[in-house]
Structure 1
Amino acid sequence: MSIRTEIKGAAFWITIDNEKRKNAISNKMWTELCQAMEESDANEDTLLTVFTGSGEFYSSGNDFSPNETAGADQSDLDYEAGYARFMRRLIKHTKVLIGLVNGPSIGIACTTLGIFDYVVCSDSAYFSTPFPSIGFCPEGASSAMFERIIGTSKASEMLLFGEPMSARQALDRGFVSHVFPKAEFRQKAAALVEKFAKLPKHSVLASKELCRGQKWRREMLAIHNEEYDLLRKLTVDERTINLILAKFTKSKM
C-alpha cells in the first residue's frame, strides 16, 4: 500500500494504491499524501495536481482497521489525525486540484472532493458518506461545501442520513463535470488532463487565486477546524466506539 506520484508535463499525478483494502488510506499513506501535496505545490512547473485511484475503487476512505487505529488518542489535544494534516494542505494548495474518480468514493475520499477545483468520474463510481452508521459527523469541509454544490436537501440526505449519490446524480447536481464509461474512463480522463496542462500556467493559477484565494482558504480552514473539534469528541464517545468496533472488527458488542 502506498501513494504513487508521477510528473507528466505540467501535471503532478497522485495515485492512491491500496487495492487489497479498496484504496483505504492508512496512517503511512496520509503522511505520503501530505508529502506529495507539498512536492507538487513547490514544483514551479506544476499547473495541475491530479488525484486518482488504482484498480476498481477511487478510495474507501480512512483505514479503520485495528492496526491503524491503535494508539490514536483523540482526547489528547496534541494529537492530530492524518486526514486533518492532509486537509490543511488541500485547502492551502495553490495548484489546480483535479479529481479523477475512477470508482466508488467513500468517506473522507468523497467529502474532500468538494474542495477540488474540477472533478470527473466513471459511471462505476458512487459517492458515499456513511457517517451516521459509525457515529461520526461530516468532515472534509463537506458541512459547508456539499450544500453549496448539491443543494440543502441532497446534502442532508448524504451527510445526515448516509444515503449515497450515484454518478448520474453527481453529474446532475454539478458535483462532477463529466461521467465517462468505465472502460474508457482512464483514457478520456487522461486526455482532459493533457488538454488542460497545455494552458498558460500563469493565467490559470492567477484565476484560481481569484476564485479560491486567501478569503476562501480562511473560511475553509475555520470550517475544517470546527468539524474536526466535533469529530474528536464523537470519536471518544462510547457509542461511537461501539459502532466502529461492530462495523470494522465484526465484534459483538
Structure 2
Amino acid sequence: MASSLLCATKGRWIVPFHRAVRTRRWRALTFFNLHTTAGNMQASQENFEKAQHNLKLLKKDPGNDVKLKLYALFKQATQGPCNTTKPGMLDFVNKAKWDAWNSLGNLSKENSRQSYIELVSSLASSESSISDKTMSSNNQQKFETLQLLREDNITKIILSRPEKKNAINMLMYQEIGHALEEAGKDESTITVLTGLGDYFCSGNDLNNFANVSPDGKEKMASDAAVILEAFVGKIIDFPKPLIAVVNGPAVGISVTMLGLFDIVYATERATFHTPFSQLGQSPEGCSSYTFPRIMGLAKATEMLLFNKMLTAPKACELGLVTEVFPDGTFQREVWTRLKAYAQLPKNSLAYSKQLIRETEKEKLHAVNVQECERLKERWLSEECMTAIINFFQSKAKL
C-alpha cells in the first residue's frame, strides 16, 4: 500500500503517511540513542513476541515517528542490518521506512529486541496511566488538550496533542493554567508536567497566528499577550515542587519555561530549541532573565538570539536540565524516583520551595510583563508576520 505505513506487527496500524512525510517527520529518523547493557542483550524471544502482542492491544495511535522506530527495530531484530535496496526518492513511504531501518547500522538483534520491548512497554505504561488512573469523579475536570491525573501523591499534567507534537494552542495555554490552579490546591505532594507521544512539546502552534484578518491583528496580539502572561505567572507562583519530565524534543515556550521549574529530568534523545529570531519574535517564559543566570550570558545569548539547539547532555551541562536518563529506561527510572519524592512530608517541601523561590518572585513577574509587552510588539511587526508567512510557505512546499 504505497500511501500507507504498515507497522511490522501483523498489520495493527495502517494509517496515511504522506502527510507526515510532507511535514518533515521523516527527518527525525536519526533518533536512535539506544542504551544497552549486558542484561539487555538477554532479551528473550518470548518477551519479544509478547511485546508484539501487547502492541496490538494499544488503543491510541502513537504517531508515525514511533511507528517508524518500531518498524526499524522489528526488522533489525528479525533480519539484522538493513540489506535491501534503497527505494527511489519519490517512494516517500518506503524510503522513510528504509531510512529508519538503515539508521540502526550494525545494532545487534538482541539489542534491537530489547529496545523494541522497552519502547512497547513505555507506550503501554503511558496509555494505562491515562485510561486507568484518573482522578476521582468528584474532582475530575474535562480537558481537550491535556490529561490531568493524580496517583501516588503526584499530580500529572500530560500534554495530549501528540498528532501536533503537543504544540500549544490558545486553548492549551488556558487549560494548563486551570490544571496548575487545581494541582496547587489538591492533596498531592508534587506536580509533574510531561508530554504524550514522541515529543515533550513543539512550542507555540503557529496556527494561532493563521487566518487573522488585518483588522483583527491587534486584538489577536493583545489577547495572546494576556494569555501568555497569565500562563507564565501561574508557573512563577506555583506553590509546590514543579517537575518537568521531558520525554522528547522541546521547542520555544516549552524550553523557556523550564527555568521556572524546580527539577527538569530529560531523556537522552531530548533536544532544546528556541528559534525566536527565525520567526521574528523574542524570548518569553522569563528566559531573558533565567537563562543568563542558569547558563551564563554568552551561552544564553547563543541560544536565545542565534537559535542554537542543545542536546540533553549539553543542556544538563549548562544547568537547564537536572539529569539525563537513557531513553530505554527513562520512564521507569524517573517515575520510580518521583514516587519516592512524593512520599516526603508535603508541607515541608512546599515551605522549603517558598524559601528558595520567594525572593525572586517580584523580579520574575516584572520580567514576564516586560517580555509579553515586547512580544505583543513583535507579533504586530511586519518582520514577524513575514517570517511566519515564510514558515507556512516553506512547510507547504514539502
Range of TM-score over shorter length? over 0.9
Equivalent residues of 1:4, 1:15 under 8 A apart: yes
The more displaced of 241-250 and 73-82 is 73-82
Equivalent residues of 1:75, 1:233 under 8 A apart: no
Map of 1:122 onto structure 2: 267
Map of 2:387 onto structure 1: 243
Q: For structure 1, which runs of at least 5 residues remain unmatched after alignment?
A: none
CA distance in 1, matches of 2:221, 2:204: 21
Query: Which protein has greater RCO, CA pairs closer than 8 Å, 6+ apart?
Result: 1
CA displacement at 1:239 relative to structure 2: 1.2
Q: Which amino acid aligns with 1:174?
A: G
Q: Which amino acid aligns with 2:230?
A: R
CA distance in 1, matches of 2:221, 2:190: 35
CA displacement at 1:80 relative to structure 2: 4.1
Q: For structure 2, which runs of at least 5 residues remain unmatched after alignment?
A: 1-143
Map of 1:158 onto structure 2: 303
Equivalent residues of 1:65, 1:248 under 8 A apart: no
Q: Which amino acid aligns with 1:108?
A: I
Map of 1:97 onto structure 2: 242
Map of 1:28 onto structure 2: 171
Equivalent residues of 1:128, 1:162 under 8 A apart: yes
Q: 1:68 to 1:209 in 2, by over 3 A?
A: farther
Q: How does 1:42-81 map to 2 (within 5 A)?
A: 42-43=185-186, 45-65=187-207, 70=212, 73-74=217-218, 79-81=223-225
CA displacement at 1:86 relative to structure 2: 1.0
CA distance in 1, matches of 2:250, 2:231: 17
CA distance in 2, matches of 1:103, 1:217: 29
Map of 1:180 onto structure 2: 325
Cα offsets for 1:8-64 (capped at 9, x unmatched): 132110001111111101111112111100100111x12211000111110001111
Q: 1:66 to 1:101 in 2, by over 3 A?
A: closer
CA distance in 1, matches of 2:203, 2:347: 33
Map of 1:232 onto structure 2: 376
Cα offsets for 1:135-155 (capped at 9, x unmatched): 111100000100111111110
CA displacement at 1:69 relative to structure 2: 6.5
Q: 1:234 to 1:171 in 2, by over 3 A?
A: same
Q: Secondary structure in 2 aligned to 1:212?
A: helix
Q: Secondary structure in 2 aligned to 1:59?
A: coil
Cα offsets for 1:133-179 (capped at 9, x unmatched): 00111100000100111111110100110111111111111211211
CA distance in 2, matches of 1:84, 1:38: 15
Q: 1:18 to 1:78 in 2, by over 3 A?
A: closer
Out of 254, 257, 262, the residue aligned to residue 109 of structure 1 is: 254
CA displacement at 1:250 relative to structure 2: 3.6
Structure with max Cα Rg: 2
* TM-score normalised by structure 1 residue count: 0.93
Identical residues among aligned pairs (%): 33
Q: Secondary structure in 2 aligned to 1:13?
A: strand
Equivalent residues of 2:268, 2:324 under 8 A apart: yes
Q: Which amino acid aligns with 1:162?
A: N
CA distance in 1, matches of 2:375, 2:257: 15
Q: Which amino acid aligns with 2:283?
A: P
Task: Compute the RMSD of aligned alpha carbons.
Answer: 1.9
CA distance in 2, matches of 1:77, 1:121: 32
Higher-helix-fraction structure: 2
Map of 1:222 onto structure 2: 366
Q: Secondary structure in 2 aligned to 1:111?
A: helix
CA distance in 1, matches of 2:302, 2:279: 16
Query: Which contiguous aligned blocks of 4+ residues in structure 1 show a shift greater than 6 angstroms?
Result: none
Q: Which amino acid aligns with 1:190?
A: W
Q: Which amino acid aligns with 2:365?
A: L
Equivalent residues of 2:177, 2:234 under 8 A apart: yes
Q: 1:67 to 1:221 in 2, by over 3 A?
A: closer
Map of 2:78 onto structure 1: none
